[in-house]
Structures are given as structure tokens and as C-alpha cells.
Structure 1
């Protein structure tokens, strides 16, 4: 599905990712792990073309997209739920979801049929402004917006950050279901190791902008977690 090789990525003169290589196989969940400040969000932004510059190769289904603008990467089938969610506060729930649909290539601007099934709160409150929602509701909205683009690859950057525990469980269940029942390929930045071990198929551990370890999820040992994630 997605292959990255020899990736160097920058913000201005700051050289964040250094020689990163990653594979996210189709139909699998790949977890990106590491301490704060190790380059996890930069990795997601690099896939979407949101850093100042990069070198190396990013291939989606065999097609090079590493030098395409962000909107073309979205239209190629990449949905993105950024850290902090970035919903539009003055838009309604309905309007926020429909914003994602503009990345579709078939011209259908509509709410996906999956949304009422996954997030019943959203269609029951379509006219509410995004800015008045709780953090958990905004996260549901951000995922629904990404799904409106009909992606084949979904990037999720810390989807459980700052959310009440009951909603965290719902978000985790949705991620697992999207992969298991709908075959959606997922790259997930997540600090909850128990959840990662339960749903992910493989992992990449970042340390100071480089790959410190990677492999099948069965090889994510307590020692690796302690060495690269303990503070």
C-alpha cells in the first residue's frame, strides 16, 4: 500500500526525519511509536506533504507521490486525522464532514453511510457547531470527515489524546472495526501500548528522527517499549 524509503524531512533548517524507511501493507494497521518529539507527527505530515521539504521516495500502490501537492495525495486515497483534530469550529457537524468529501474523485459530496453506524451522535446533531463539541466528539467528527474522502489509507495521529476514557474505548473500537470489517489500511500514532498490541499488525519505533526498531507486532517487547518510550 504505502512504501517510504530514504526519507529526510525538514521544517526550515530543522532536519527532523533522517533516512526513514517504512512499509504499511494493504489491509493492515501499522503503529508508529516513540517518545514525544521523536518525529511521529512529522512522519504523518511528510506522508501528506505538509513539511517544508523532503527527499526520498513515497509510493502509494506503486505510484510515486512524494513530490505531489497535498490535495493530490488526498485524492489518491489518503485520509488524514491530524493531532489536535483541526475541525472548523464555526462550521456545523454536517459541513465539517462534507469538507472531507471534496477529496473524492467521483464528485459525490455526501456523508458516508458508515458515519451514522459508527458515530450515531453526529447525525443526530448535524446543525451543532464544531467548536462547541467535546474533545471526544470532535475526534469522532475528524474521523468522519476523513472517511468522507473514501480513503484507502487512513492516517491517525494520536486519536485518543486528551479524550475521556469512555470515548477512548469507542474510538479504539472504531479503528479496529474499520480495519477488520472494511479492510481499511491504517497508520496509527498511539501511546496506548495495550491497544497497539491488540489491533496493530506491525510497528515502527522512532528515536530522534530515525527508525530505532520495527517489525511484526509480536516483536514489540516490553524492553523495546521501556528503552524508547519511558520518560
Structure 2
């Protein structure tokens, strides 16, 4: 469904991704693993067109999107939940969610029923400003905003980072449910290997801006984790 073919990505003159080849299968969770600073976030930003230059090809359902602007990629069905969440603190919960709807291809501006089902706290507090929410609630809001775009693919950049332990398990269950029950294709940047093993079908390990090993999640060995993730 989604394929990187010999992709290089740059911030100004800094060459971050090197000859990345990766296939993300429709309806699966692909976990992107590796130490900090290996290019995992840049991989997601490259997919969204948020780096300064991209060489190579990125294809979504045989459509070449590597040269398209970010809004066209969003309308093609890719939603992004960035590291740090990046909600707008002075917007209400409702306004933050509806921002995602501007990427819908059908022009609807509404909160999806799925958001109401997954995040009852948000629905009961739609007039509260996003900035007063806890880290976990803001992460829920960021996921809800992405779902308002009616995506086919959702990119999640370390969704449990900085979240209180009581909500981590809830976020993990929601991510798995979005894939298993809703059918979303998920690219998950994650440091928690145990969660990646529970959630993902496949993995890609990154080192110095390259995918150094990939395969079925059952093939992810402890030796690989130690070699490429141990500090």
C-alpha cells in the first residue's frame, strides 16, 4: 500500500535519511524502532512532506506522492500525530478536533462517531481549552484530531512519551483497536519494544538514517534490540 523507494531526505544541507526502502502493508501496524537520533521522526515527516528536500519515490496505492505538498498527502488519506502532540492550547477541544477535518476529501466538518466512542472525556468537555488538559488527555486529543481527517493511514510518533502511566495502557489499547477493529494502517515510532511486539505485524529498525533490518515482528530478536537500541 505504502512504499519508500530509495528515499533520501534533507533539512537544509543536512542529509538525514539515506536510501530508505520500506514497504508498509495495507491494514497492518509497522513499528519503526531504533535509538534516539536515528531518523525515525524524520521518516514520518518525510512521508508528510515536512522536510526541506526529498529524493527517491514515495508511493501510496500506486500514486506517487513524494513531490506533492503536505495538504495533498493528508487528503490522500495520511494523518500524522506528531511527537509532542502539537495541539493548539488556546483552541477548545472541539476546535482542535475539527482542525483535522479540513483534510477530509469529502469536505465534511464534523467530529466522527468513532471519536465520541473512543474518547468520552473529550466529548464531555468540548468547550475546554486544549492547553489545560493533561499530557495523556492531549495525546487523546491529537489522535482524535487525526481521526477527524477520516484517514486510511495514521502515523504515530512515540505516542506514549511523557504520559502518565495510568493512561499509557489506555492509549496502547486504542492504537491496537484502531488497527484490528477499524482497519487503519499504522506506522508506529516506538521505543517500548514490548508494546511494539504486542501491536505490530512488522518492524523496521533504523540506524544512522537507514533501515538496517526489517521483517515480521516475530523475527525481531533480543539480539537485534540489543545491537540497535541499547544505549
| Same fold flag (TM > 0.5) | yes
TM-score (norm 1): 0.99
Q: CA deviation at 1:176?
A: 0.3
Q: CA deviation at 1:175?
A: 0.4
Partner in structure 2 of residue 229 of structure 1: 229
Q: Deviations over 1:152-201 (max 9, x none)?
A: 00000000000011111011000000100011000000111111111100
How do 1:39-188 and structure 2 match up within 5 A?
39-188=39-188
Partner in structure 2 of residue 3 of structure 1: 3
Q: CA deviation at 1:230?
A: 0.6
In 2: Cα distance, 1:95 partner to 1:186 partner: 25
> Where does structure 2 lack aligned partners over 5 or more consecutive residues?
none
What is the SS of the residue equivalent to 1:37? coil
What is the SS of the residue equivalent to 1:182? coil
TM-score (norm 2): 0.99
> Where does structure 1 lack aligned partners over 5 or more consecutive residues?
none
In 2: Cα distance, 1:83 partner to 1:26 partner: 23
Q: CA deviation at 1:107?
A: 1.1
What is the SS of the residue equivalent to 2:224? helix
Partner in structure 1 of residue 37 of structure 2: 37
Q: CA deviation at 1:50?
A: 0.0
In 1: Cα distance, 2:125 partner to 2:137 partner: 11
In 1: Cα distance, 2:139 partner to 2:156 partner: 10
Q: CA deviation at 1:26?
A: 0.4
Partner in structure 2 of residue 22 of structure 1: 22
Q: Deviations over 1:132-160 (max 9, x none)?
A: 11110000000000000000000000000
What is the SS of the residue equivalent to 2:181? helix
In 2: Cα distance, 1:180 partner to 1:104 partner: 22
The runs of 4+ residues in structure 1 deviating greater than 6 Å are none
Q: CA deviation at 1:38?
A: 0.2
Question: How many aligned residue pairs are there?
Answer: 231
How large is the RMSD of aligned CA atoms in angstroms?
Answer: 0.5
Q: CA deviation at 1:203?
A: 0.3
In 1: Cα distance, 2:60 partner to 2:166 partner: 35
In 2: Cα distance, 1:198 partner to 1:133 partner: 28
Q: CA deviation at 1:212?
A: 1.3
Q: Deviations over 1:181-230 (max 9, x none)?
A: 01100000011111111110000000000111100000100000001001
In 1: Cα distance, 2:176 partner to 2:166 partner: 16
What is the SS of the residue equivalent to 1:195? helix
Q: CA deviation at 1:52?
A: 0.5
